[in-house]
Amino acid sequence: MKFFQLFSRPQSAPAARERLQVLLAHERASAGDSDLVAKLRDEILRAISKHMQIDDDKVSVKMERGAKVSTLAVDIEIPFDAGKKAA
């Protein structure tokens, strides 16, 4: 690090570079319809909807795309009588 940089704002270009690399890795993968995380999300929701009516307000799907690891969190409130309603 250069002397003057100790007193100046942190550099922004490395952040731009990193964000682009992660984003484009995912966009290139999904161009061929092979976006695993999106596929998993859709299939999980489809599987659940077979057994209960999914209330959009009661479902939260969170995706975090990372360079090495992505996470998918599906959080669904299942009411006590959910099974009966679907049947």
| DSSP H stretches of helix in 1-87 | 13-31, 36-51, 82-86
78 contributes a contact to other proteins by CB under 8 A: no
Rounded to whole angstroms, how far apart are CA atoms 12 and 39? 33
Using the rule CB under 8 A, give the single segment among 3-11, 50-58, 66-74, 77-85 that binds other proteins: 3-11
Residue from 3, 6, 7, 14 that binds other proteins (CB under 8 A)? 14
Residue from 6, 26, 28, 81 that binds other proteins (CB under 8 A)? 28
DSSP 8-state symbol, 44: H
Q: CB nearer to other proteins: give 30 or 44.
A: 30
b/e burial code for range 25-36 (CB count within 10 A of at least 16 → b): ebeeeeeeeebe
Residue numbers at the binding site for other proteins (CB under 8 A): 5, 8, 11-14, 16-17, 19-21, 23-24, 27-28, 31
